[in-house]
Amino acid sequence: MNNKGISPFVRNNYFKGKQLTVRDFQDEQDYHMSKLAALRSTNLGCGVAAGLDVVAVDSHTISVEAGCAYDSFGRDILLPEPVLKDIRTIDGFADLSEGQPAYLCIEYREAPLEAVQTVTDSVSRTYNRIGEGYRLFLTNTQPKTLSNDLLSVITETKELVCAPNISVKVSVPRFVNQNDKLIVTVITEKINLDKSLSVEFEADHPSFSNGEYNSSMYSYFNVTERFDRSVSEIEMTPSEKMVGLNKIRITPDRVKITVDNAPVTEVNSLEFNVEIITEPVRERVRREYFRRGADLSFSRAQEHLCLAEICMICGANDVFIDRIYPLPFRQYIMSERLSYLLDNLPEQPEKDVFEAAVSAAEQPAVREQDTLVACGVENIDIDTDYRGKIYYSSEIIHGLGEGDISYSIGFEPINNDDSAVLYGSPELFEGSVYDLEFPKVQYSIISYNDKGTFRIAIKLLERVNAGNIRIHWQAVRASEPSEKTLMEIDKMTISIKPNLVNIAPRESVTLQCIIEGCDNQNCIWNVEDKNGGTITKNGVYKAPSTEGVYTVTATSVKYPTKKAVNYIIVGKKREL
């Protein structure tokens, strides 16, 4: 269907003796397709009706799951089965700008099928069928979506800043009741930026007040993530004396945005109109929708749909998928089946208020504790055939943070067969079919609770014909973060220097973990990728022989939830 406009419908009139031409048959098809498109536009809208999820299969390949959608012209976009695509082969990939998010879009596409020869001309050839298909493509341009046009009935969204690698959007409801809270949503995106980003601003709102625990001040800080999307809310209360149109302003003089302490000056001045109303907001939105219904129903914002936002890392000679945000602009179609499911969700029975209060008073206050467990294997070299000597392990970082830790250790057989591990005394198994010649040792553990580490000491009690003893250890602690601890975690920052490394295969580089806001400077290094190289306890990374982009993390020993991420580009060196 190529007719994308909406006009009064005209249908064929059939009568005896009418001469039928190609135009008549074409008009017959267009009439029914236009009717169907108008029905879909006014009742369904455009968007994904089912499926079409986008997932990363590996660093280069995505899978678009089977599903169906309707574009803004009411045309079907149907994928009968999953489609695997290498992002480097998708249309538009060559035109993408480095460091910017890429949007995976899908659009309706017709293709002629079944080439035939016409009966009126022995030379001319045409096609017997028209196939209704689709086209996938990539673009850096953020699409103007019909879903955003629809949401404009209830919210107003504007960009505070859209600098390279940074996006800050503010969304404010158009209507709020006197008895309701006004929720201002702030969406901050850090896009392929390996520097610290700080965003602070304060909104001017003379007709609204802040609650005890809420503020019009918004702040965001990120130094570890290269890609990040933060959605936060600012809660305000309308003044009871103010009814009608009011304004919320954000001016550049009350905005502070920095990248590695360098100020960002591309800041817009924003002004939002919020109407404080006495009638229910639902009723007001209903009236607004039908007042603008024709524009929204027959909007022709664009033909294509945005299925995913894909964040990519550019290596020396290649591009790798970092993460995928499916349907970032919420282009969904609410079906009757989904409405039926939501309407039939079981409701939680309401408990009598007095009964609940009595029950709570009778029960002792018990705080649930999350048990954290860490384990590992330590190898201690010994002198062959030496008894009575004491050996010490290196200082082991268990990764559970500071505090009291419980330990248990077991020993592998002397032949280093890790299919069995002994916990306890080996004498009970001596002479039995289960005796695997476990080492007879006396052992002890010293825990450094203020550092998050421990050390093992062993003493040989008899002759051992081996060059080492392998010890399996397990550390356990109950997590009880105090309010002070949570505040320290919130203020603490962890980063890796240098920010981005480009080295040749099998080359080494020393990384440094920078921890600020915490007295414990110890960290645990790890290479996240399989066969992605090795890294020592002191941060010396050795690249593998295979080129690629590999992920290295540094985790705080005191607060294991705080982690820094760095990317190592292994390949031909380039300017970073």
Two structure tokens written together for 185: 């949503």
What span, in angstroms and rounded, lies between the C-alpha atoms of 95 and 92? 5
Dihedral sign (CA 137, 138, 140, 146): positive
pLDDT at 367: 40
Q: Choose the weakest-confidence range: 83-97, 533-547, 559-573.
A: 559-573
pLDDT at 349: 53
Binned at pLDDT 50, 70 and 90, residue 240 comes out as low
Q: What is the mean pLDDT of residues 543-564?
A: 83
Q: What is the mean pLDDT of residues 11-28?
A: 85
Binned at pLDDT 50, 70 and 90, residue 150 comes out as low
Q: Where are the alpha helices (DSSP H) in 125-202?
A: 146-151
Binned at pLDDT 50, 70 and 90, residue 152 comes out as confident
Q: Where are the alpha helices (DSSP H) in 316-363?
A: 336-343, 353-362
Query: In the chain, pLDDT over 70 holds for what percent of residues?
Result: 80
DSSP state of 332: B
Two structure tokens written together for 548: 């690629």
Flag whether pLDDT at 486 surpasses 70. Answer: no
Q: Which residue has the higher pLDDT, 91 or 517?
A: 91
Rounded to a whole number of angstroms, the distance between the first and last alpha carbons of the chain is 49
Q: Which residue has the higher pLDDT, 500 or 504?
A: 504
Binned at pLDDT 50, 70 and 90, residue 256 comes out as confident
Residue 47 neighbours by CB distance under 10 Å: 22
Q: Average pLDDT of the chain?
A: 77
**Torsion, CA 340, CA 342, CA 343, CA 346, rounded to 10:** 120
Binned at pLDDT 50, 70 and 90, residue 416 comes out as low
Q: Which residue has the higher pLDDT, 243 or 62?
A: 62
Would you list the domain boundaries of the chain?
Answer: 1-140+299-328, 154-291, 370-479, 483-570
Burial 158-184, CB ≥16 within 10 A → b, else e = eebbeeebbbbbbbbbbbbbeeeebeb
Q: What is the mean pLDDT of residues 528-538?
A: 85
**Torsion, CA 410, CA 415, CA 419, CA 423, rounded to 10:** -20
CATH for 483-570 (2.60.40.1080, 3.40.640.10, 2.60.40.10, 3.40.50.720): 2.60.40.1080
* Parallel/antiparallel/unpaired status of strands 270-277 and 175-177: parallel
- Bond from prior residue into 498 cis (ω within 30 degrees of 0): yes
Neighbouring residues of 427: CB distance < 8 A, sequence distance ≥ 6? 440
* In the block, residue with structure tokens 């110890």: 522
Q: What is the mean pLDDT of residues 509-519?
A: 87
pLDDT at 354: 42
pLDDT at 53: 87
Flag whether pLDDT at 546 surpasses 70. Answer: yes
Q: What is the mean pLDDT of residues 82-95?
A: 87
Residue 513 pairs in a beta bridge with 496
Q: What is the mean pLDDT of residues 385-397?
A: 78
Q: Choose the weakest-confidence range: 23-27, 121-125, 127-131.
A: 121-125
pLDDT at 384: 63
CA-based radius of gyration for the chain: 33
Flag whether pLDDT at 257 surpasses 80. Answer: yes
CA distances from residue 245 to 176, 276, 284, 344, 416 in whole angstroms, order as listed: 10, 6, 14, 38, 78
For the stretch 454-469, pLDDT in tens is: 899 988 888 777 778 8
Q: What is the mean pLDDT of residues 269-277?
A: 85
Express the helix, strand and coil content of the chain in percent, nearest 5 each: 15, 45, 45
* In the block, residue with structure tokens 């093992």: 456
Considering the domain delimited by 154-291, tell me its CATH architecture. Answer: Sandwich (2.60)
Q: What is the mean pLDDT of residues 421-437?
A: 80
Angle formed at CA 88 by CA 84 and CA 91, multiple of 5 degrees: 85
Tell me if residue 150 falls in helix, strand or coil: helix
CA distances from residue 267 to 171, 204, 221 in whole angstroms, order as listed: 16, 16, 17
Ramachandran class of 45: left when φ > 0, alpha when ψ lies in -120 to 50, beta otherwise: left
Flag whether pLDDT at 360 surpasses 60. Answer: no
Neighbouring residues of 84: CB distance < 8 A, sequence distance ≥ 6? 57, 61, 62, 63
Flag whether pLDDT at 183 surpasses 80. Answer: yes
pLDDT at 418: 62
Specify the DSSP element, H or E, that contains 447: strand 441-448
Residue 333 neighbours by CB distance under 10 Å: 18
For the stretch 207-219, pLDDT in tens is: 665 544 345 677 8
Fold equal for 1-140+299-328 and 154-291: no
Q: Choose the weakest-confidence range: 9-23, 483-497, 514-528.
A: 483-497
Q: Which residue has the higher pLDDT, 205 or 510?
A: 510
What span, in angstroms and rounded, lies between the C-alpha atoms of 208 and 235? 10
For the stretch 522-531, pLDDT in tens is: 888 888 887 8
pLDDT at 268: 87
What span, in angstroms and rounded, lies between the C-alpha atoms of 340 and 443? 64
Say if domain 370-479 classifies as CATH 1.10.3470.
no
CB 562 within 8 A of CB 522: no
Q: Which residue has the higher pLDDT, 240 or 176?
A: 176
CA atoms within 13 A on the CB side of 98: 9
Specify the DSSP element, H or E, that contains 313: strand 305-314
Neighbouring residues of 129: CB distance < 8 A, sequence distance ≥ 6? 112, 113, 114
Q: Which residue has the higher pLDDT, 29 or 350?
A: 29
pLDDT at 370: 53
CATH for 1-140+299-328 (1.10.357, 2.60.520, 1.25.40, 2.40.50): 2.60.520
Q: What is the mean pLDDT of residues 472-480?
A: 76
Flag whether pLDDT at 156 surpasses 80. Answer: yes
What span, in angstroms and rounded, lies between the C-alpha atoms of 486 and 385? 51
CB 182 within 8 A of CB 237: yes
Q: φ, ψ for residue 96 (rounded to 5)? A: -70, 145
Two structure tokens written together for 553: 């993390």
